Amino acid sequence: MEDLIKSIIDKTGIPADKARSAAETVIGYIKNKLPAPIAGQIDNVIGGGKGDDDISKGTKSILR
């Protein structure tokens, strides 16, 4: 997730908190459009396999 946030910051120049919010919003949106088993795999990829994030609800991330 940090890589995605850094990429957003680098490409748009927006502050880190806004980039984090944008990333969480897009990931949440995509996950809501996918079947649950596939959406769960996104948590593994984005969250580094920790499974303790809440991106699927579009509310919080493991990153703060």
Spatial contact of 23 and 4, defined as CB atoms under 8 Å apart: yes
- What sign for the dihedral angle of Cα 31, 26, 53, 2? positive
- Would you say the pTM of this structure is higher than 0.75? no
User: What is the mean pLDDT of the segment spanning 18-41?
Assistant: 93
Q: CA-CA distance, 17 to 5, in Å (whole number)?
A: 9
pLDDT, the chain, mean? 80
Q: CA-CA distance, 57 to 26, in Å (whole number)?
A: 11
Res 52: pLDDT = 43
Domain boundaries, the chain: 25-64
